[in-house]
Structure formats: C-alpha cells, structure tokens
Amino acid sequence: MSSWSDRRVVVTGIGCVSSLGTDADTLWKNILAGRSGVSRITSFDVTNYDCQIAAEIRDFDPNPAFPNPKEVRRTDRFSHFGIYAGWGALKDSGLDLEKANRDEIGVFIGSGIGGLHTTEEQHSVLLSKGPSRISPFMIPMLILNMASGLFSLYYKLRGPNFATCSACATATHALGEAWATIKRGDASVMFAGGAEASIVPLGISGFGAMRAMSTRNDAPEKACRPFDKDRDGFVMGEGAAVVVLEELEHAKRRGARIYCEVAGYGNTADANHMTAPDPEGEGAGRAMRMALRHAGLRTDQIDYINCHATSTPVGDLCEVRMIKNVFGDHAKTLAASATKSMTGHMLGAAGAIEMAICCKAVEAQVAPPTINLDNPDPEADLNLVPHTPQERTIRAFANNSFGFGGHNAIVVGKRFEG
C-alpha cells in the first residue's frame, strides 16, 4: 500500500440542496448571476420576530433519494437535505456501487444543530399531550449523526462513518477528516459534507436573541452584505452539500470526471471566546498555514479564497486581518469572495456548499462574486470580487470555515494536473 504522502485525493462528485438550486450546475449558474436566495420567511409566522428573513428552500421533494416514503416521514428535514445531497453527489460521480467495494466507501455528513424541527415539534407534543404521545422516532430523527448514518444504511456503505459537529466549521471538518481518512488508506471513497435545517421558530429566535442576525427585513436580498460597512448580521440559510472524495488511482481506474484535487487541511482552535473569533484571526491563521503545509503550497500559489465572512461586524474583519497576516503582499493580489451573500449562512452545511462552489470555480477558472458590497469597510481593502464574477487563473484555492467555540477549519484544493 502506498504511503500517506503518495496517496492523492480528488473530488469526483458534487451534490447540493440550497435556496439557489438542488444541483451543482444550477447553484453555480445562480452564483455567477449574483442572485440572492434570501427572502421573507414563509414557513411560519414571523410577525413578532426581529429577523423575518432567511434563505429558505421551498417545494423540496426528498423522495428520490430515499428507499420509500415511510423513511422520509421518519427523518428530520436536515436528514432529507443531507441524504438528497449525498444521492446527488453519487449520481454526479458516476460511481457504480454494484461494482464497488462498499467496505472501502465511507460517509462523514455533519450538522451543527441536527433535527431542530423535530426537537421543537416534539417538545410541543410533550407539553400539550404528555409523554405518552412522544414519537418513538424522536431521538433518531433529531440526533445530528443520522444523515450520515442513514445515507450509509440506504446505500450499504460500510467504510468509516461519523458526523462532525463544530458549529459553522462542521462541514469543512468533515471534508478535511475525509481527506485524511483516504490519505491514511482507510477508505478509497468518502462522501463528505454537512446538512442543516434550522429555519424554525426556535432557531430564528435563538440567534435573534444573540443579536447575531440581520434585521434588514424590508430588503431581504440586500441583507447579507459581507465586508460592507453597513452590514448588520448574518442571514440564515438551510440545505446541504456533499462531495465525493476519491483516491486518485481509484478514480482513474473507473474513468471518473475530476473537478479538482484536495491537497491540504488545517484544524485549530482560537481558545479565545465562546462565540467571538480571535481579533487578529490568529487561530485561523494557524489553520491556514497548516493546510498550506499539508498541501506543499506557498502562499503566493493561492489564487482564490472562499471566505467564511458571514456579514457580522466583528467576524468579517478578523478574517481580513488573518488573510493579510498570512499572505502578506499577495493578499492584495488574490481574489477573496463571500458567497454567503447569496446562499445565506447555512451553518453546519456552509463549508460544504462553499466547497462545491470552489470546485466549480477552479473548474471554470472564475472567481465567484460577493454581492451587496456597495460600501466596503475601509479595512476590507482586498479584491473581494464585488458584484460580478472575475475570470482569472485559479491554480489553488482555500475554503475557510470558523465556528462558535473557536473552531477553525480550512481545506486547500488545487487544479487537477494528472
């Protein structure tokens, strides 16, 4: 068996569910068009809520990804998203499971919160009807590992399997740990990503109580504005994304389409504050340097960064400072955009949807835009790709994710060269 350093990992499939589309091509088309997926919440009455907007997914049918309708009824919305995204990634990859060794195929689909809809619904049942009326499926519906577990069950994938949970860094940790699993030789193929469905009264009111979300309710499509001096908080999104990571020789043997190569992964902690990032982005900077070291890349070889940038007053500038500290003069040369301006912040799924966007960006050699960047914060003096995409050489990219608890996760990828 080849050593860790010899084994290369590539992306061969992408699946997604978002307010901008339920497949990667539709998502990418809407991203390039600078289209916002944010609107007024319709799934419940938001009259008394400070934040009344989100990037909701409407008219979604999970059934094609499930073995039968009964299984759909027994699972939470976040699992619907995650399993559908996994199914989409499987289709996109062209992997024939009938010919594959399913002992060598694993699944890491994480979630930051898990089945919040089920938690909220079943708590109401408890209060109104008593404990005898609680669903026997409540616990397996709400626990956040279930998208990962059920996807492996439905598709008989018996390799490494768990769910990451690190708030908004969840999906990027799943991607990085899946990369490391293949590098170690413990799997040949990994389905990795994240799923989230927290646009429910409890989720919106909880983040609202933290004063973390935008209240620009009169102009939803303009509300998420990373790096803009008028930003006032994040806008919640929902959905999932899963990518197929595959050992290169395994992919070559079956003639797989290769989007890009995953080259490095960084994972650190701020150890600074429960919810606030390190002011200078020191922990994030260590994660970036770790990922670059694993990838064997210099800072001047990174041409695009998909920023975590959630549109919060503090967080966006911490990330700008990190980029300046790590990349020095090259920080002004590379492109660094915030696609949450269009998708909203998908919490535990954010790093996966942004990985999907990075894969399409390196394939197309186009840096996606940051919309709503009308009045850049003076400190955010980088090429943030305002309003419209930029055609440019993208040899390598970094995908940044940072979560409450001080979690930092960064995945570095590069254009595939045989």
The overall pTM is greater than 0.85: yes
All domains of the chain in start order, with CATH: 10-253 (3.40.47.10), 265-414 (3.40.47.10)
CA distance 36 to 341: 7
Average pLDDT over residues 376-395: 97
pLDDT at residue number 3: 61
Note whether 346 and 391 are within 8 A (CB). no
Which of 135, 191, 193 lies closest to 164 in space, CA to CA?
193
Total Cβ atoms within 10 A of residue 91: 14
pLDDT at residue number 267: 97
Chain mean pLDDT for the chain: 96
pLDDT at residue number 2: 54
Q: What is the pLDDT of residues 272-304, one digit of tens each?
A: 888 777 888 789 999 999 999 999 999 999 999
CA distance 308 to 287: 13
Average pLDDT over residues 181-185: 97
Lowest mean pLDDT, pick from 222-226, 265-269, 311-315, 330-334? 311-315
CA distance 233 to 322: 20
Note whether 284 and 409 are within 8 A (CB). no
Whether the pLDDT of residue 405 is over 90: the answer is: no
Could you tell me the sign of the dihedral formed by the alpha carbons of 178, 352, 172, 259, in that order? positive
Q: Enumerate the active-site residues.
A: 168, 308, 345
Terminal-to-terminal C-alpha distance of the chain = 20
pLDDT at residue number 1: 45
Length of the chain: 418
CA distance 19 to 60: 10
Q: What is the pLDDT of residues 27-36, one digit of tens each?
A: 999 999 999 9
* CA distances in angstroms from 134 to 15, 75, 117, 131, 399, listed in the order given: 34, 15, 14, 6, 41
CA distance 374 to 367: 18
